[in-house]
Chains A and B, each alone.
Chain A
């Protein structure tokens, strides 16, 4: 099976803009989670979607949102970008109690 794919791999935006990141899970996986990884804060959980419904949510402001489609692909959106949003955004698909990560999208906010 193909692994988790994320697009784009790299993105540069300016403050105030909005961005949409995409994640395609492993075929057959219905759960997709998103994480933000920064050198200072480590790996922080954003949210998890399962069968198009948000199942869990981390402690992030409402500027961070996501959705999942009927084919289990997921998108996350960040509006009104801030410099502190610069990070590696990781997506993971899940089967039972095991997560499989994509390569991440490196977002730089200038």
Chain B
């Protein structure tokens, strides 16, 4: 069945450091891929998405490229801020169902 495997956390970075959170997926069809972010005490917010191979999703300085050959959708940011501290979820949508990774907690220290 479909699944998402996400880099284990927690991740702690200094402000302005580079971020990469790895995500790989298994799917039988042609899924859409997503990154969601969850701030403390809140629900999940869509951060970015990509609907087909080689698409690049981007938002708020975050980027992720849909790589079909490596079945990956890694999240990257060149310079993180304290306000980026949150839990990040990789997800895929195939037909009618969503599949989520386990989440990666990111803490950015000043």
On A, residues with C-beta under 8 Å from B are 4, 6, 33, 35, 42-43, 45, 48, 55-56, 90, 92, 97-104
Q: Are the CB atoms of B102 and A102 closer together than 8 Å? A: no
Tell me the nearest residue of chain A to B93, going by C-beta. Answer: A97
**Can you list 13 residue pairs at the A/B interface with Cβ under 8 Å?**
A35-B100, A42-B103, A43-B102, A43-B103, A45-B97, A45-B98, A55-B96, A97-B51, A99-B46, A100-B46, A101-B36, A101-B44, A102-B43
B69 contacts across to A, CB distance below 8 A: none
A98 CA to B47 CA, complexed, in Å: 11
On B, residues with C-beta under 8 Å from A are 32, 34, 36, 41-46, 49, 51, 89, 93, 96-98, 100-103
Tell me the nearest residue of chain B to A102, going by C-beta. Answer: B43
Is chain A's interface secondary structure helix, strand, loop, or mixed overall? strand
Q: Are the CB atoms of A104 and B43 closer together than 8 Å? A: yes
B103 contacts across to A, CB distance below 8 A: 42-43
- What's the minimum C-beta distance from B6 to chain A, rounded to whole angstroms? 9
Q: Which of the residues A6, A55, A99, A103 comes within 8 Å of B98, measured between beta carbons?
A: A99
A92 contacts across to B, CB distance below 8 A: 44
Which one of B44, B89, B93, B101 has the greatest number of beta carbons of chain A within 10 Å?
Answer: B44
